[in-house]
Amino acid sequence: MTDSEESSEDYDDNAMDLQQHPPTNQRRQHHQQKINNSTSTIVTVKHNHLVMLESEIPPEATRIITLILCVKQLVKYVKLVNINQALEDKKSPRLIQSTIIRWLSMFDCLEVVLRSFLPLNEIFEEKELNKKRLEKINVVLLERIIEFLKPWKHISTRLQSTNIPSIHVVIPGIESLKTRLESISNDTKFAYEKDMMFFRQRGKILIDAMFDYHPIHLMALFLNPRTRKMKQCTNSQRQSFLEYIKQEMIMFDAFDSDTLSIDNSDKSKQSCSTNASPLSDQEYNPLHFWKQNHSLYPRLAKIAKRVFTVPATSTAIEGKFSLAGNIVTKKRSKLSPETVNDIIFQNSFEKYKRKNAQNK
């Protein structure tokens, strides 16, 4: 029984007491104490899993945090003295500041500093600037941090995509991260990397504590032809999912030939295998399969259409609101809605062009 169920029973019992006996201060205090106890238990569990005090971080891991802070200070200084233009003149990427509300910006910040490190050295010497901030950057350690964060960035970027479905990537993405963290943690070759080992172990703990799969994630996994066997799921998860999707199918005709696909019929397996396009993960769209096979499995195709229209995260939408908030300020409060839309569109189009240029 969960804490919430216990709390609801406490409320019901207390309501029965109030019907039979008049309320007293002692009863109120006793009832409030029970609520406080259950609340403190919930908070303690979350604290144990998600929060770590600074004093609990080992000295080896502190090196990583210190280096990231040094990189942020360097980027801030470069923007302050306006060196970004000099970097562009040397055909080097501009430095990007990290913002606390956008995790991917931290990865971009670290990666750009690494790519621009040598040109920065040259510019500092040409302009006779103090190189103290540059000397604090350990390039070897910075490369290891970026290598550790690359899988996280790849999966996060894919989950935030808006042009193609992303909900079916949740379970494979999280499970691949867990597998990678476990394999590296058990590999003796990385035993000497005590600083990075702490973050690998910490990452696995946070993934286990923070992520709990919703039925829609299981549905998306099954409805994706590439992952229809649901190898990442336990038997109990498969059984509960089948019951859930059967309930969804009740909304459509009760007698349809695509019911066989739930029982993994040979016809369904053959169709899924032949239609699983060898496109890259960035371009693959499972809705293409259901569009081609709508006549074979009409009910499942309708469910797939509903499921794959759900975004995995709200990051892209929040980003648009964040951009609009930066455009419409107290000094620019009289902008028309059409102008704001044009600015947001132009911003998105410029990002799209930069992304295409990088892929080429």
Neighbours of 242 (CB within 10 A): 15
Below-70 pLDDT ranges, the chain: 1-50, 101, 185-192, 251-283, 319-321, 358-360
The pTM of this model reads 0.66
Farthest CA pair distance, the chain: 87
- What would the DSSP string read from start to end of 171-201? HHHHHHHHHHHHHHHH-GGGTT-HHHHHHHH
Residue by residue, DSSP assigns 318-355 as HHHHHHHHHHS-STTTT--HHHHHHHHHHHHHHHHHHH
Residues 293-320 as b or e (16 or more Cβ within 10 Å = b): beebbbbbbbbbeebbeebbeebeeeee
3-state secondary structure (DSSP) of residue 67: helix
**CB proximity list for 271: less than 8 A, separation 6 or greater:** 293, 296
Return the pLDDT at 113: 93
Query: Tokens representing 180?
Result: 């990678």
Residue 352: the pLDDT is 75
Q: Is residue 141 a contact partner of residue 67, using CB atoms and an 8 Å limit?
A: yes
Q: What integer pLDDT is reported at residue 252 of this predicted model?
A: 63
Q: Tell me, what's the pLDDT at 358?
A: 66
pLDDT in tens, 73-97: 999 999 888 888 888 888 888 898 8
Q: What is the length of the chain?
A: 360
pLDDT for 136 equals 92
pLDDT at 320: 65
